[in-house]
Amino acid sequence: MKLMVCIVNNYYVENVERQLRKKEYRMTELASTGGFLRKGNTTFLLGVEEQHIESLKTVMKEACLQVEQTRGKRKGNESRFTSFIVDANHGLPLLFQ
């Protein structure tokens, strides 16, 4: 089991969340107003099996592209989303002992 942490630009977040729910991914959503990678982002925490990681990234990318097709591309150098993977079996044990 892996933990995928995805920081999504708020311009895309509504459709990303909708598409993740439609594909039956379970997630925890953390809205931020500043600090962690600046304001204007929402962080999703998703538990995912390793064989489904690429599929999950594809769902997120397609959700962002759908937004751009209807609303246009976001101006500026901001990314659609940033994601990284943490091994949930090992995680960060020193922080929790």
pLDDT, tens digit, 9 for 90 and up, residues 36-77: 555 678 999 999 998 999 999 999 999 999 999 999 887 776
pLDDT in tens, 10-29: 899 999 999 999 999 989 99
Q: What pLDDT score does 79 carry?
A: 80
pLDDT of residue 89 exceeding 90: no
CA 2 – CA 89 distance, rounded (Å): 7
Q: What pLDDT score does 86 carry?
A: 87
pLDDT of residue 83 exceeding 70: yes
* CB count in 10 Å sphere of residue 51: 7
The two tokens of residue 27 are 């997630």
Is-contact 62 24, C-beta < 8 A? no
